[in-house]
Structure 1
Amino acid sequence: MIIMIITTLCSSRKDSVQGRPGAKTCPAGPPPPAWLRPRPSPEDHMRKRAAVAVTALTLVLGGCEPPAAADLILTGGKIAIVDDDFSIYETLVVRDGTVLAVGDASLADDYSAPTTIDLDGRLVVPGFNDTHTHISGNARRYINLGGTESIAEIQDLIRAKIKEMGEGEWITGYGWSEDELAEGRRPLRADLDKAGPNNPVILTRAGGHSGVANSLALSLAGIDRSTPQPEGGVIEYDEAGELNGVIRERQGMVGRLVPDATPEELRETHVQVLRDQLALGITSVIQAGQNPGGFRRWESIYEEFGHELPRAVVQIRWSSADRLAQFGRMSGDGDDRFRVGAIKVLVDGGFTGPAAYTIEPYRGMGEYRGMLNVPEDELRSLIMEANALGWQLGFHAIGDAAIQLTVDAMVDALDASPREDHRHYLNHFTVTPPVETLELMAEYDIAISQQPNFTYTLEGRYAANLDGERLAHNNPLKIPMDYGIFMAISSDILPIGPMVGLYAAVTRKGMSGEVYGPDERLTIEEAIRGYTRNAAWLTFEEDTKGTLEPGMLADMVVLSEDLLTIDPERIMGVEVDMTIVGGQVLYERR
């Protein structure tokens, strides 16, 4: 009887990592890594039961070993580890910041941890790795315009900031989008004049490719009807020939006059913005371009606050080989909390201008095709040089002409200085390039960081300026995958956070409900992979993060609803209940 009881007890705790090689039975201690254990056959299980029976008296005398030590246990839910098979488990165990084991509900009995989280059926996925963000600190004079719903609301925010700062002080802001404003248009000079005639005001559109200034700001910048058009940008006028306040691509003509924030202001707000990412389920970010001084500011923040923040990879803006030599770092330098990313190269303009460089003219704009931000010969030279130096390269390339030019230049550079594992990539990839370019990208392993949320939030811009297949396949998802091009998914800024991107990736809907290129839709599993596992590959970290397999960093998100089964129309309403980085709960929704 004693033997039967103990045999039943021990054999009932086998297969704690179901669906993966190996099994764990009492009284064994902590298992070796799952991938080192052979899958047991039925005969193995029979031998194991026999062995337990033979040693039953020893077990009675000595007792089973106590549960193995762990730091955190999550159990009672649906844990998608995003491995090759998109396997689902009920329990996950964390020790020393990494995933120790995954398995069924009985796995929780094998371990003892100071914290056990009852998931109550909720879904857990790896933390979202956002591979294209623009995060910064801001001054007191700054207004966050993200999510504003009307010009009237923007005017109220300007008035409130003037009351705080005082008359005559510069007021800045970022994040408005006419596609989200009730008036269905951009704020103009006259709108800003009504809210703050005695304060210079400059407000930058979400995406950073245009801004609007009031009359006082334009006057202080010396901009009037006689000002020549800036190279690479546009000063807009209304039908009467007067300045309407909008400057495309060169709003720095006004912004350069805004007083710098104090280092204390920048640091405090920068840390808070990074913490805010945790509420979105973001456990890693790629910051899209800093000069060496900006990189060092990020580095100092992570030296002090790194274990309270998402992991960060910071791209470096290209200046020259000499400047980069003085910088003294290379892509990949750092640790799993903070490291150097790719060189950031801004090839063309944005789509809100529009200024993205396209092969065919924009709809209704004559022969206008956008513009390059860097002359072609300079672009080719810097790509050749940076690739030869061993840097990873990340390009802002939106229009199909910009994509084609950049890929051709990369091919030449890689032919001249072959790299076995360069992982160069394009950000945005809005207008699908020719087949020949797609084939070269696949052949030379040139990847993409794509923003499906743009299909939703920039629908109005695309519908106004593109037509036919260019419109239907804006921000393509399936086409690059079908050609074998590696693709991660990211946010950029419209808005930051994964839920809009996941929604747009699986529905291909714009804000109006119109579907664009239904054959570009991803499954929800493909979309989640793009935000997690594929994103980690883009920073050479696929062996340490991006999945919840044993041995990987314990970065994960607990969600309020099951993304894998709910109606896709509900995706944008899914909340992040908890964000865990390195096994530490850094955010919990109250």
Structure 2
Amino acid sequence: MSEPTLILRNARAITFDPARLRAGAVALAGDRILAVGGEEVAALATASTEVIDLGGATLIPGFNDAHAHMEREGLKRLRPSLAGARGVGDILERVRAAAAQTPPGQWIVTMPIGTPPFFFDGAATLAEGQPPDRHELDRAAPDHPVYIPGLFGNWGKPPGHSVLNSRALALNGITAATVPTCSGVEILKDANGEPTGVIVERNSRPTVEFDLLPAVPRFGFAERLEGVRLSQRLYNAQGTTSVYEGHGSAPETISVYRRLWELGELTVRVGLVVSPSWADIAEARRAMRDWLAHARGAGLGDPWLRLSGVHIAYGGDPAVACCARANLPDTGWSGFVEQALTPADFREACLLAAEHDLRLHTIVSDKLHEVVPVLEAVNERHRLAGRRWVIEHIGRARLADLEALKRLDVLVTTIPTYFLWKGGAAYLEEPDGGDLVVPHAHLLRLGIPTAIATDNIPYDPFFTLWTVCNRRERTSGRVIGPDQRLDAETALRLFTVAGAALTFDEGWKGPLRPGFAADLAVLSEDPTAIDPDRLRDLRCRLTVAGGRIVHREGL
């Protein structure tokens, strides 16, 4: 037997290993678990073993965030925050402070107006009820172009208010005659018909930068690299040791992760999916045939970075997709490439993916009933069993369609915070009380492999756990689909060990089991022993990824 490098003793371990569901100690040897048990495990310590007494704290496998968008979170720390601003004067003071530290002529770009992480309040809650205009920003920073972006709608709720001063408007060529290409965008004008500097966006994923603001500085490779470095620390501090990016990653995003992998800097295991930039089915056919062999089947990679499969959108706005492709390699906050496929093109793309053994990932929201017939048609030509295709973002569903997913051997990832808490108002009047909205209990009863995820709204897994177990809509507090609430232990399983199947890693990653990956987290309290209302108050005290301590607080 190898000598242990780290022993965690006096623990309340929830292992998710059927052979031993509870344990009091875990010993690690390098990047693997050496032993799981009681005090006999603690007795394995040698002079070189680090031993940590957990004092009865709860130990679980590390969180595996199955739809993480981890590339975003650190980027938010690279721009000046406007959080806490109660009026236009507060915002102008922060712009002045930024101008004092920025060489004349260089851009000042802040975070959106409002309170992170959601920015729900936005400009409407400022004392004036509106953001500053171009002239107010001109006075605060006369020698700089200034841009205050609108919120990224996936965090909160549109509309968002972008604001530019006169220098910024001029550099972007915005005049009284400018007309947006994309719908959902409005350039506000004063009594003389001139732009006020405020642009209102009603789209969930902002198009204003792609469409109207070519001169605004983008996140470059260096910023995205530093952003992921910051993100990893933040995700590790929540107990997250693995992420899966089923929404797809653009070439630039993949390059960032590849670089961190080369440098040996990954502290979160990363599963990536290709977000393609093809413009039509002919280009998609060539790309799948000639350029995506590395993403076929289980893909390529190692225990820290794996690339497998392709994300294919169902629907989308062609104008938005065109603008997004024209701005590559920049993808804004998203990290993926916007797509737009008609139902016919989606069907053809799915058939091509099956032909070339590329795992499909697609977001269905409330349209599962439209996507399932496509999957069934594909299955008639190319059997889907064993391919691990993934359906994501299920909102409202029908039982017959869930049963079809089981027959087709399709995996599911859900985004409970997005549909139940943040956007739950849309489902408050469902005839069945919301029983088929993000229907976790139905998915589990049918035996459909399911993993849950944060979607970076927010990246805190404890908030998502709270949502899964309570299912309360944020504005009314009403419960959506009470029979679909899960107990904390079941929710934890979906958020830790279940995600390993997405990267074909269930044979070595997930449960706290000898020989498996040494990925684990120590929590402030036992989620299975507290009131479900308190789940979002949990904190992570220690995180171990690959046998290395990557976060430690108070232990």
TM bucket (normalised to shorter chain) is 0.7 to 0.9
1:497-548 deviations in Å (ceiling 9; x for gaps): 2100001111112334332221110010110011111111122111111111
Residues 243 and 270, structure 2, Cα contact 8 Å, conserved in 1: yes
Alignment of 1:78 onto 2:12: yes
Alignment of 1:101 onto 2:35: yes
> Structure 1 residues 414 and 163 mapped into 2: Cα distance closer, same or farther (>3 Å)?
farther
SS at 1:196 equivalent:
helix
User: What does residue 245 of structure 1 align with?
Assistant: 199
SS at 1:505 equivalent:
helix
The percent identity for this pair of structures is 23
User: What does residue 213 of structure 1 align with?
Assistant: 162
User: What does residue 538 of structure 2 align with?
Assistant: 574
User: What does residue 179 of structure 1 align with?
Assistant: 120
Alignment of 1:312 onto 2:278: no
For 1:171, give the aligned amino acid: V
> Structure 1 residues 374 and 75 mapped into 2: Cα distance closer, same or farther (>3 Å)?
same
Alignment of 1:423 onto 2:388: yes
User: What does residue 320 of structure 2 align with?
Assistant: none
Residues 176 and 205, structure 1, Cα contact 8 Å, conserved in 2: no
Whole-Å Cα distance in 2 between the matches of residues 260 and 181 of structure 1?
22
User: What does residue 326 of structure 2 align with?
Assistant: none
Residues 78 and 89, structure 1, Cα contact 8 Å, conserved in 2: yes
Instruction: Give 1:468 deviation, angstroms.
Output: 2.4
Whole-Å Cα distance in 1 between the matches of residues 93 and 264 of structure 2?
34
Residues 72 and 94, structure 1, Cα contact 8 Å, conserved in 2: yes
User: What does residue 22 of structure 2 align with?
Assistant: 88
1:554-588 deviations in Å (ceiling 9; x for gaps): 10001111111012222112111110011111111
User: What does residue 24 of structure 1 align with?
Assistant: none
SS at 1:82 equivalent:
strand
Instruction: Give 1:79 deviation, angstroms.
Output: 0.9
> Structure 1 residues 489 and 150 mapped into 2: Cα distance closer, same or farther (>3 Å)?
farther
Whole-Å Cα distance in 2 between the matches of residues 539 and 343 of structure 1?
13
> Structure 1 residues 220 and 477 mapped into 2: Cα distance closer, same or farther (>3 Å)?
farther
1:380 to 326, 329, 347: 347
For 1:312, give the aligned amino acid: V
Residues 98 and 108, structure 2, Cα contact 8 Å, conserved in 1: no
User: What does residue 124 of structure 1 align with?
Assistant: 59
SS at 1:200 equivalent:
strand
User: What does residue 404 of structure 1 align with?
Assistant: 369
Whole-Å Cα distance in 2 between the matches of residues 484 and 469 of structure 1?
25
Whole-Å Cα distance in 2 between the matches of residues 148 and 470 of structure 1?
40
Q: Which is higher, the Rg of structure 1 or of structure 2?
A: 1
User: What does residue 143 of structure 1 align with?
Assistant: 79
Residues 469 and 487, structure 2, Cα contact 8 Å, conserved in 1: yes
For 1:95, give the aligned amino acid: A
> Structure 1 residues 141 and 494 mapped into 2: Cα distance closer, same or farther (>3 Å)?
closer
Range 129-138 or range 465-474, more displaced: 465-474
Whole-Å Cα distance in 2 between the matches of residues 349 and 147 of structure 1?
32
User: What does residue 248 of structure 2 align with?
Assistant: 289
Range 420-429 or range 551-560, more displaced: 420-429
Instruction: Give 1:417 deviation, angstroms.
Output: 1.5
User: What does residue 434 of structure 2 align with?
Assistant: 472
SS at 1:173 equivalent:
coil
Alignment of 1:234 onto 2:184: yes
SS at 1:422 equivalent:
coil
Whole-Å Cα distance in 1 between the matches of residues 503 and 231 of structure 2?
22
Whole-Å Cα distance in 1 between the matches of residues 175 and 304 of structure 2?
48
For 1:410, give the aligned amino acid: L
> Structure 1 residues 75 and 300 mapped into 2: Cα distance closer, same or farther (>3 Å)?
same
Gapped regions of structure 1 (runs ≥ 5): 1-29, 31-67, 351-370
Report matched runs for 1:529-568 at 5 Å.
529-568=493-532
Whole-Å Cα distance in 1 between the matches of residues 16 and 123 of structure 2?
40
> Structure 1 residues 472 and 545 mapped into 2: Cα distance closer, same or farther (>3 Å)?
same
1:119-168 deviations in Å (ceiling 9; x for gaps): 11000000001111223377799537698796777776655545444566
Whole-Å Cα distance in 2 between the matches of residues 74 and 301 of structure 1?
29
SS at 2:392 equivalent:
strand
Instruction: Give 1:183 deviation, angstroms.
Output: 5.3
Whole-Å Cα distance in 2 between the matches of residues 140 and 517 of structure 1?
34
For 1:103, give the aligned amino acid: G
TM-score (norm 2): 0.79
Residues 224 and 256, structure 2, Cα contact 8 Å, conserved in 1: no
Instruction: Give 1:266 deviation, angstroms.
Output: 3.1
User: What does residue 299 of structure 2 align with?
Assistant: 332
What count of residue pairs does the alignment treat as equivalent?
498
> Structure 1 residues 583 and 589 mapped into 2: Cα distance closer, same or farther (>3 Å)?
same
1:86-105 deviations in Å (ceiling 9; x for gaps): 71100111123111211112
Residues 372 and 405, structure 2, Cα contact 8 Å, conserved in 1: yes
RMSD (Å) for aligned C-alpha atoms: 3.7
Instruction: Give 1:335 deviation, angstroms.
Output: 0.4
Whole-Å Cα distance in 1 between the matches of residues 83 and 413 of structure 2?
24
Whole-Å Cα distance in 2 between the matches of residues 386 and 188 of structure 1?
49
For 1:177, give the aligned amino acid: F
Instruction: Give 1:424 deviation, angstroms.
Output: 1.2
Whole-Å Cα distance in 2 between the matches of residues 158 and 450 of structure 1?
39
> Structure 1 residues 574 and 462 mapped into 2: Cα distance closer, same or farther (>3 Å)?
closer
User: What does residue 272 of structure 1 align with?
Assistant: 230
2:148 to 201, 205, 230: 201
Residues 123 and 131, structure 2, Cα contact 8 Å, conserved in 1: no
> Structure 1 residues 190 and 70 mapped into 2: Cα distance closer, same or farther (>3 Å)?
closer
> Structure 1 residues 550 and 131 mapped into 2: Cα distance closer, same or farther (>3 Å)?
same
Whole-Å Cα distance in 2 between the matches of residues 151 and 478 of structure 1?
45
For 1:204, give the aligned amino acid: L
Instruction: Give 1:172 deviation, angstroms.
Output: 5.0
Instruction: Give 1:453 deviation, angstroms.
Output: 2.2
Instruction: Give 1:230 deviation, angstroms.
Output: 4.3
Instruction: Give 1:194 deviation, angstroms.
Output: 7.8
Residues 150 and 181, structure 1, Cα contact 8 Å, conserved in 2: no
User: What does residue 496 of structure 1 align with?
Assistant: 459
User: What does residue 353 of structure 1 align with?
Assistant: none
Whole-Å Cα distance in 2 between the matches of residues 170 and 554 of structure 1?
43
